[in-house]
Amino acid sequence: MSFISHTPSPPLSFYINSFYSPNESLPLPREKILPLPGLDLKINFGGGFQVFDTDQGEPFTTLKESWVLGLWTKSHIVDWPEDLQYVAVNFKPSGAYPFLGLPLSELQNRVVSLDAIWGSLAAELRERLYAAPTIQARFALLEQFLLARLRKSPPGLKVVQCAVAEIARQHGIVSIRELSERIGMSQKHLIVQFKQMVGSTPKELGRLYRFGDILASISPTQPVDWTLIAHQFYFHDQSHFIRDFREFSGHTPSDYLRLLHQLYAEKPDRTQYLRLLPIG
């Protein structure tokens, strides 16, 4: 599985990491999606996606047309459709707020229909994108649409973006007290602004960045010294590291590595996507 991606030009690049679209059929019908910093918007032209809390039981939602995935702090499972056709936007933390216009805390660990946020505009956009002749044309049309929706930067957003950048720079290992002092905002107000514009507290976002950087440090072809990783990422002890890792991934570090090695043996190209794990 590969993706065609496009990085938008400024000013959208201040809010968006990329637009992307699958380039071929997905080789794995079911995968676990691990939580990472960011928020996705998907506009679907193919079959429905079924989403599960765990690999047992009934799906909690089936996604068919267009939707927004809020900032997730836990893993979830997706059954991909055989007919996989969509275009997506991957927003930076705080990047979606100017376009969606609602407190992003309302989207945490949720998948919400785009119709519920944009009304009939969501269906109109989907129709226009579906009619575009190429993926590149869809990207261009989506870029024009989002530029038109980009409002004046909300008060406080630039300060929040600076705080997010500092959290990312320090791999999530940052004192919220020191961060609030550095940007000249009280801890209480910083937390309120983060819930509004990011969808989590600064501490929660920091934990997601640390988890993502841990995943990025693991090679699917090399042995891993988990004690060293726990030390490098400033966990109090090994049990704290294992507890955090299990909370985000649903696996112990050793079980995760086993699945990663299995994935590399079967589908080596898939291991470049940090948030995807095979299920079943």
Q: Give pLDDT tens digits for 171-214.
A: 999 999 999 999 999 999 999 999 999 999 999 999 999 999 99
Q: How far is CA 20 from CA 16, 41, 85, 185, in A?
A: 11, 10, 11, 36
Distance CA 98, CA 205 (A): 19
Encoded tokens for 275: 């948030």
Q: Is the pTM of this model over 0.95?
A: no
Strands of the 30-33 sheet, one edge to the other: 61-63, 49-52, 76-79, 30-33, 276-278
Report residue 27's pLDDT band, with 50, 70 and 90 as the boundaries. low
Q: What CATH code would you report for 3-149?
A: 2.60.120
| Residues near 104 by beta carbon (within 8 Å), at least 6 away in sequence | 39, 70, 71, 96, 97, 195, 196, 197, 198, 199
What pLDDT, on the 0 to 100 scale, is given for residue 180?
95
Nearest Cα neighbor of 248 from 280, 221, 279, 274 is 274
The per-residue pLDDT of the chain, averaged, comes to: 93
Q: What is the dihedral of CA 159, 171, 101, 131, to 10 degrees?
A: 130
**Percent of the chain scored above 70 by pLDDT?**
98
Q: How far is CA 81 from CA 54, 77, 112, 179, 210, in A?
A: 18, 13, 19, 43, 31
φ/ψ of residue 33, rounded to 5: -100, 115
What pLDDT, on the 0 to 100 scale, is given for residue 238?
94
Tell me: pLDDT of 280 over 70.
Answer: no
Q: Which long-range contacts (CB under 8 A, 24 or more apart) does 179-184 make?
A: 183/159, 184/159
